[in-house]
Structure 1
Amino acid sequence: MQQEITELLPRLRRFAYSLTGSMADADDLLQNTVERLLTRDTPDDADLTRWAFRVCRNVWIDECRARKVRREAAQRPELTDSQVVNGEHQTTKEIEWNRVDAAMARLPEDQRQIISLVAIQGMPYRIVADILDVPRGTVMSRLARARAALSEILAPVTMRTDT
């Protein structure tokens, strides 16, 4: 099982990054996911790949909830996550990747997950439906909406001149 998890690490890391938008957070999410995979029993009838992606998604949801609680509990504005600057991200990404990241961030989380699993990870709709625990038709409709939204966001802005 450890060998299989090792082979999944690059794909899980890309998925974690697509959820978090930050390499530091993605690495933390990946570490927590792998820890959970190694310390908990995998269901006998579960495909390890599907199970790993589902665990990663659930760990991220737990982290989002925890962040929300911490943010609401913080009394001083300097403690909020929004003021932390990730210099590594700003210096290591090219301009085009930043545009795509920003566009992905504008998508609702359910669409962002679908785009990541289908378009980035290359997973079939059936497997994505299993990972997200939704019908296959939902995967297809969310993917269509996500692609349309990304296309709209990333479309070049045409300059209008008054003559």
Structure 2
Amino acid sequence: MTNDTLNVPERLVAFLPNLRRFAISLCHSRELADDLVQSTCERAIAAADTFVAGTRFDAWLFRILRNLWIDHLRRARTAGPQEDLEEAREVSTPSGEAASEARMTLLEVTEALQKLPEEQREVLVLVCVEELSYRDTAEVLSIPIGTVMSRLARARKNLAELMGISGEEKRSSNMKGDVA
């Protein structure tokens, strides 16, 4: 075993919140996300000797998790319909008007994010939340970098529309000076 192999469990523990956040964005269920994260941990530890030193540990883990999610979806298709229970999303914040507004905004953003097509949501979460580079995101999702950029642009545009944010006022005010 190499030193990098020995560090996989320690690095994995430190990265659990990121894995869980990505898992929740994929499956919309905290319980299922926890199961995916646990399976990801098991697979990462079992395959620790396959991790290539000098590569992105987070991208390696995200790829394992995403592959497990795809496997889950394939199994679910053959298993037939399942009962889907909507979970309450709880945010722990101090009381007060600012906290209430923050909680409402977070819920609105979460709901809007869930309305995005899965391929846009995956790219948006990996690039904007998990701060992966376009190259690493492309590697995790097994798509070209150009596709990452395209999906990210559409995801940002669609999310802004869902949130009622429009950049058109800005553009039209800039163009007023150009019209003769």
C-alpha separation in 1, matches of 2:49 and 2:107: 36
Aligned residue in 2 for 1:76: none
1:5 alignment partner AA: L
C-alpha displacement at 1:26, in angstroms? 1.3
State which of 83, 107, 111 in structure 2 corresponds to 1:102.
111
One-letter code aligned to 1:147: R
Aligned equivalents of 1:139, 1:106: Cα separation in 2: 19
1:149 is paired with a residue whose SS is: helix
1:108-146 Cα deviation digits (max 9, x unpaired) = 111110011011111111111111111111111100000
Contact kept, 8 Å, 1:53 with 1:131, in 2: the verdict is: yes
Correspondence for 1:145 among 154, 159, 165:
154
Alpha-carbon distance in structure 1 between the residues aligned to 2:31 and 2:46: 23
Measured at CA, do residues 42 and 117 of structure 1 come closer, stay the same or move farther in structure 2, by a change above 3 Å? farther
Q: What is the CA distance between 1:81 and its match in structure 2?
A: 2.3
- The alpha-carbon deviation at position 85 of structure 1 amounts to 3.9
Which stretch has the larger CA shift, 112-121 or 42-51?
Answer: 42-51
TM-score, scaled to structure 2:
0.73
Q: Which runs of 5+ in 2 are unaligned?
A: 1-7, 92-102, 166-180
Structure with higher Rg: it is 2
Report the equivalent of 1:33.
40
Distance 1:37 1:150 in 2: 33
Q: Contact (CA 8 Å) 1:71, 1:81: kept in 2 or not?
A: no
Whole-Å separation in 2 of the counterparts to 1:17 and 1:44 = 24
Rounded to whole Å, the distance in 2 between the matches of 1:69 and 1:103 is 29
Q: 2:133 is matched with which residue: 124, 129, 143?
A: 124
Please tell me whether residue 155 in structure 1 is matched to residue 157 in structure 2.
no
Instruction: Give the match for residue 22 of structure 1.
Output: 29
For residue 44 of structure 1, report the CA deviation from its aligned partner. 4.9
Change (3 A) 1:35 1:95: same
* Runs (4+) off by over 6 Å: none
Give 1:62's aligned residue: 71
Normalising to structure 1: TM-score of the pair?
0.80
Percent sequence identity over aligned pairs = 38
Q: Which amino acid aligns with 2:132?
A: M
Q: Residues 37 and 55 of structure 1 are in contact (CA less than 8 Å); yes or no, is this contact kept in structure 2? A: yes
Aligned residues: 146
Distance 1:99 1:42 in 2: 42
Shift of 1:55: 0.4
